[in-house]
Structure 1
């Protein structure tokens, strides 16, 4: 057993990481599905979308061959509607709410139709929006992820001049660096960022990190308002012996390396254990398998009823050959010569519900051992508590506290997205950006400075 790169051929990598949700092959195929839509009044699909995309309207526009109008309907509500069509857990949102589910028929493939409407608009930078004349008000946005970009685009449409400060070398945040490569490609992420900024009035400064190269006090002084969309990204530690051995990786870094270095350059073990069962854990496990690991075992301390990921994601991991071990928690990582060789796990049982409402895992006293050469930690992410405290932001264990108007305790400083809620879906971050932009516009309009 060993951790190596280049396990597969170029053809195998291409096949393993090809688009998991391919688009409609023909316009007629899209029209067949669009014409199944019942165009419900008070549509449940629209209600279940955090950004309130008018689903019946955009689908009806497809049926009338009004692709530009359909794209405008989607992107007016969700400027990252193209990306969301690829990564949203639609089975628990719009498609999960489709009335066809009550008729024992397949739901309308809303995400696939949304992709059909937006892909060309994004690739070709259709001028769907017109920016109002500049108001000469300036807003700084920290973070070029879904929340920050959504906020920036909404503000720019209203004539606000926006500067976005991003610590990475590319925009897109989680979309670019934190999601499985077979769901959304780096090229699409780049196209989406370019489409958003093509409106004008948005300048992104890359390799600018809050607290290192750019400082909140300076932004407060030089801009009329500041929006913080810094997300989360610190991997939760297991706090068990052996966590510092070679071969122990956090899932965020593992996925980041795949996205930045490419498939052949990313090393993976032969026998891999993944700790956790959220969406990030699934992305790490499936990609480890697709990079050439012979065995991938997902270890989860609760049962399927309590898992954070969706059934669709779980099925994807199973189809990729990943094994799931339920009611198991890591106890110790064992190694030889500084390299991981085994993972010792405790067998658990479920006790009383905890603060999350899920039944708490309780140790039974029994253990078992997995022979592994790589352990990927995906037990959750933590906010940037040190950064938040250093900027005197009121917070709850690192999650920035805001009021009903997205305002922090610092005058003129607003926040939203994962840095506030601790981590939700991309579509939730987009809506948070819209809410933040509205709050900032209200703040600027009421300011006579």
Structure 2
């Protein structure tokens, strides 16, 4: 049994001041023009491009890469934005290694795909540096009004496409800043230089979109009232609840929701003032688990462990993300599930983990217990829809909103997209596609 401490060792300023800027610098710096040219020339420009089929937003990847290779990054960006108006952020955060790059012919032939994500960023960053507005013109006013609730990727994509069609959009968001998880939920080293906020301004530059912050469904927004006041409603409210571990002492200091801490980190003006434990344990196996683990390590935590209840091959985090964690000194402990949280003097001091095994497809505990010292235990075991916000008006499945292929809900005038809908992928690019598809369906319904 590992000895526990009488008090937590949580402190700010664990590193020299200059270390923070270095640790949280851009994970993938922007390609230089020559580098982009060389990389673009590696593309075979496949006619029946598997990369395009693997892209949730169906960007014409061979076309935008060919435009880069011919010295036309502006045209390349327009090709990207035509299908994905948040192409800049998606180039930074998409797990391209499991999407377009995984099926790249270069990858299957020689194990080295064309760096599609990096090329997409090269084009979109070039365009946004040269232009203050999107390459789209707002359509003639239709007189129709749509309420978009949630200014994350799905909401922004939906609002922009609706504005292109000439509809007036009111974009509501619960937070002070728009952007959703792009602003509050991703690792800081994936999106530097306030890019999320700049992209929001870029999207809103189309005009015809009024942003109202501090507006939360179930609080000062009511779905029935929105339906009565607007011609259509699009819900992109995300998942506001966090799954609990269901353990004693979970309410004690040091037991923390990973998404909340990441949001604090993303909004911090001075990372040296953000307190972090010396010993950190993260419960979970997805992207959020990796994001919080790596970032606490970069903040100066000495020992960081991700504990996951199944094998490493079952983790939702991609191989690249797992390798990123390990190369930053994060340990990945598999086949271990939380059994109890140890607390002393009102604070977490350790966590007990039970070894698990797979018995005919069923996860069971073995009875063997491991104890790890922990000043902080981060919960990254998924988020849930706050169903009370919907007032029981919509059909749900497994705690998420049921939608059809057009992202229409069980109500004729309400559509939904992003993390809050059933059967979707928890990816920024998938949320953008939801918003785009819903906008086209709303436009068709209002034009009938």
TM category, shorter:
over 0.9
Matched with 2:5 is none
Matched with 1:107 is 113
**Cα distance in structure 2, aligned partners of 1:443 and 1:127:** 25
**Is structure 2 residue 180 aligned with structure 1 residue 173?**
yes
**Cα distance in structure 2, aligned partners of 1:181 and 1:8:** 17
Cα distance change on mapping 1:203 and 1:41 into 2, 3 Å = same
Deviation digits for residues 271-293 of structure 1, max 9, x if unmatched? 00000110000000000101110
Cα distance change on mapping 1:378 and 1:186 into 2, 3 Å = farther
Matched with 1:188 is 195
Matched with 2:245 is 238
**Cα distance in structure 1, aligned partners of 2:193 and 2:409:** 33
Query: Helix, strand or coil for the counterpart of 2:191?
Result: coil
**Cα distance in structure 2, aligned partners of 1:119 and 1:232:** 30
Matched with 1:32 is 38
**Cα distance in structure 1, aligned partners of 2:314 and 2:333:** 14
Cα offset for 1:397?
3.6
**Cα distance in structure 2, aligned partners of 1:122 and 1:234:** 34
Matched with 2:319 is 311
**Cα distance in structure 2, aligned partners of 1:110 and 1:333:** 43
Cα offset for 1:423?
5.3
**Cα distance in structure 2, aligned partners of 1:412 and 1:126:** 30
Alpha-carbon contact 1:233-1:252 (below 8 Å) kept: no
**Cα distance in structure 1, aligned partners of 2:234 and 2:193:** 26
Cα offset for 1:391?
4.6
Matched with 2:405 is 404
**Cα distance in structure 1, aligned partners of 2:134 and 2:290:** 37
Matched with 2:103 is 97
**Cα distance in structure 1, aligned partners of 2:149 and 2:274:** 29
Matched with 1:207 is 214
**Is structure 2 residue 388 aligned with structure 1 residue 386?**
yes
Query: Helix, strand or coil for the counterpart of 2:27?
Result: coil
**Cα distance in structure 1, aligned partners of 2:349 and 2:298:** 22
Alpha-carbon contact 2:25-2:192 (below 8 Å) kept: no
Alpha-carbon contact 2:133-2:206 (below 8 Å) kept: no
Matched with 2:146 is 139
**Is structure 2 residue 56 aligned with structure 1 residue 46?**
no
Query: Helix, strand or coil for the counterpart of 2:264?
Result: helix
Deviation digits for residues 252-272 of structure 1, max 9, x if unmatched? 111111012242232211000
**Is structure 2 residue 69 aligned with structure 1 residue 67?**
no
Alpha-carbon contact 2:394-2:410 (below 8 Å) kept: yes
Cα offset for 1:236?
0.8
**Cα distance in structure 2, aligned partners of 1:239 and 1:186:** 38
Alpha-carbon contact 2:186-2:262 (below 8 Å) kept: yes
Matched with 2:124 is 118
**Cα distance in structure 2, aligned partners of 1:240 and 1:127:** 49
- Which residue of 350, 368, 371 corresponds with 1:369? 371
**Is structure 2 residue 446 aligned with structure 1 residue 444?**
yes
Query: Helix, strand or coil for the counterpart of 1:96?
Result: coil
Deviation digits for residues 343-389 of structure 1, max 9, x if unmatched? 01101111233xxxxxx42101111111111100111111122223x
**Cα distance in structure 2, aligned partners of 1:305 and 1:132:** 48
**Cα distance in structure 2, aligned partners of 1:409 and 1:327:** 40
Alpha-carbon contact 2:73-2:126 (below 8 Å) kept: no
Cα offset for 1:318?
0.3
Query: Helix, strand or coil for the counterpart of 2:358?
Result: strand
**Is structure 2 residue 268 aligned with structure 1 residue 261?**
yes
Alpha-carbon contact 1:386-1:398 (below 8 Å) kept: no
Unaligned 5+ segments in structure 2 are 1-7
CA RMSD of aligned residues (A): 1.3
Alpha-carbon contact 2:74-2:126 (below 8 Å) kept: no
**Is structure 2 residue 10 aligned with structure 1 residue 3?**
yes
Alpha-carbon contact 1:232-1:423 (below 8 Å) kept: no
Alpha-carbon contact 2:67-2:76 (below 8 Å) kept: yes
**Cα distance in structure 2, aligned partners of 1:215 and 1:126:** 32
Deviation digits for residues 219-238 of structure 1, max 9, x if unmatched? 11111100000011321100
**Cα distance in structure 2, aligned partners of 1:58 and 1:94:** 14
Query: How high is the TM-score relative to the length of structure 1?
Result: 0.95
Query: Helix, strand or coil for the counterpart of 2:273?
Result: coil
